[in-house]
Structure 1
């Protein structure tokens, strides 16, 4: 999905999507809920006050402990 397509669905400018991707913009609560609903994910899965660990690291460590 392109930035333009996502921006259209969310009702924002494509530049806003770019700012969000880079972490240069904190979305409004309304926009956060729109994104959460669109991606069918809880807000915590999209936004966090702490950096996310890479998914590959999470999967690798989980498999290693098993």
Structure 2
């Protein structure tokens, strides 16, 4: 999914699913790095967009969907 397919609110919203499962310093549920998770509340909107796009790219690269309920 690319940035044009989502509105700005979707890209700045936390992707947290409260189902953290850490593997290789990343959460398998939302695909964010542990650093991105720790810094989330202090990130600007542009940093959140970057973190979310990185997480989406990581999920695609791993060919593994995020864990869902």
TM-score with structure 2 length normalisation? Answer: 0.29
Larger Rg: 1
TM-score with structure 1 length normalisation? Answer: 0.30
User: Larger relative contact order (C-alpha < 8 A, sep ≥ 6)?
Assistant: 2
Choose between structure 1 and 2: higher helix proportion.
1
